[in-house]
Structure 1
Amino acid sequence: MIDLEHQLKNPVWHSLKETHKEFAVEFNGVQFYNPEICTFGSFFDETKTAKASNEYLKTSDEFFFVSENQTPIIDDTKVFLEKKIDGCQMVLNKLIDIQITERIVLLDESFIDEIYDLIWLVMPGYYQKRSFEMGNYYGIFKNGQLVSIAGQRMQTNLFIEVSAVVTHPNYTRKGLAKQLIAYNTKEILKENKTPILHTNKGNLAISLYEKLGYTLTRDMNWWLYRKKIS
């Protein structure tokens, strides 16, 4: 088995080799998620990414390559880099136990539309409805409305990523996200897996994650590519 440290250097790749192998699409030694699930791609050999990207773009108009320090090679006659997100990876170092005062609900498939709508309200752009299939989602309701969620995304036999942490603008600054992250973290630990998360450098939420026991470990960057329109 590949150890945790090596898995975390290329989390998309190892997720697609293990827990999420049913979602894997491979071209020329480069792995992608089924675009209905997630538009992340991963690689070890950047010389293979140009050919693979052209193939993947037959099924999706955009995708991310996720890498720690490698730069993908693309066919710039067919693909262009829209932006590079300078990200970082955080790994739970020590669980900081906080009081859970809210009723937190494990969300089932009946909430797919509500999850999608809330994420697109707060973080529009990249979440797919079927991203729900990647892991558990937990939510807090107020007056019958889903107002805050924290989900799970990439995962292997050794780690699970906390993701899709969003709160409706009318309910921010009430500690809902903090409680959801803490609850999600505990649920991951119950599975004897390491909780991780990713965010962009400079995100104000980093201080919250650190207060919950997460530590910055490495860069993890997202290269967003789009298909060129002829």
Structure 2
Amino acid sequence: MTSEDAAVLDDPVGESLRGHHSALARRLGRAATYVPDVASFSAVPPTADSADWADLARLLGQGAFADMFSCPATPPPDWEPVFVLEGRQMIWPGDRPAQARAALDTGVIELDTADVPDMLDLVARTRPGPFWPRTHELGTYLGIRDNGRLVAMVGERLRPPGWTEISAVCTAPEARGQGHAVRLVSALVARVLSRNESPFLHVAETNTAAIALYERLGFESRKQVTFRGFRTP
């Protein structure tokens, strides 16, 4: 992996909306966002001008939430700040193979549309990050059930060229401490690598336990990022 290969990770939302997720995108000029109920992320170029922000406002509507993810561009003063969160972008080293057993873990199942109510229930109880009724359309989601109940999950989110973001890593409180997150992330890493893509992820800087877990699994920190959200005028 070279620095050029990873450059697309500087604009993961924009690269995804222009590429792999173009069928899930709404676009106006150089502004883009996901269709409703898939994701709340929006993108403008790093060098966005007033016309780009005006186009995004028209896409989203008046007084709407604009989740700018890690976009460094600064909106006009009449865009109300909603949140700021410091985070970290982590990547899977190109020379590190996935553990072979992860791809053969029979306790891990692939989730589909029929599982969405259970996925939404698990997300509501664990709050791993934004997840909507159509978020599962972004990619593959894997889960673990205990006596029929979904107790752990992981999925694919942003898809810039050559990369797949691992997201929605969550385990029900009553099922923690059993290694479910390790099994699920390892299984998904194996799947991503099998199609010659590289896994990456984002984590809040204050979530030291998750950072330590991802480092044990083999991820390395690439850079610090700042997640920001705004309200359109």
Structure 1-normalised TM-score?
Answer: 0.88
Rounded to whole Å, the distance in 2 between the matches of 1:125 and 1:4 is: 27
Q: 1:59 to 1:20 in 2, by over 3 A?
A: farther
Q: Would you say how many aligned residue pairs link Structure 1 and Structure 2?
A: 223
Contact 1:12/1:154 (<8 A) preserved = yes
Quote how far apart the aligned CAs of 1:202 are: 2.8
* Alignment RMSD: 2.2
Q: Which runs of 4+ in 1 moved over 3 A?
A: 98-102
Q: 1:201 to 1:95 in 2, by over 3 A?
A: farther
Contact 2:129/2:168 (<8 A) preserved = no
The residue aligned with 1:66 is: 69
The residue aligned with 1:216 is: 221
The residue aligned with 1:55 is: 58
Quote how far apart the aligned CAs of 1:71 are: 3.6
Q: 1:147 to 1:102 in 2, by over 3 A?
A: farther
The residue aligned with 1:15 is: 16
Structure 2-normalised TM-score?
Answer: 0.87
Rounded to whole Å, the distance in 2 between the matches of 1:197 and 1:41 is: 18
Rounded to whole Å, the distance in 1 between the matches of 2:63 and 2:152 is: 29
Q: 1:162 to 1:59 in 2, by over 3 A?
A: farther
The residue aligned with 1:88 is: 88
Code of the aligned partner of 1:66: F
> CA-to-partner distance for each residue in 1:68-127, whole Å, 9 max, x for gaps?
6x2421351xx3111111121110012463855660001111101111111121117731
Equivalent residue for 1:109, pick from 110, 113, 125? 113
Rounded to whole Å, the distance in 1 between the matches of 2:152 and 2:128 is: 15
Code of the aligned partner of 1:10: D
Rounded to whole Å, the distance in 2 between the matches of 1:111 and 1:74 is: 41
The residue aligned with 2:138 is: 134
Equivalent residue for 2:204, pick from 168, 185, 200? 200
The residue aligned with 1:24 is: 25
Q: Which runs of 5+ in 1 are unaligned?
A: none
Q: Which runs of 5+ in 2 are unaligned?
A: none
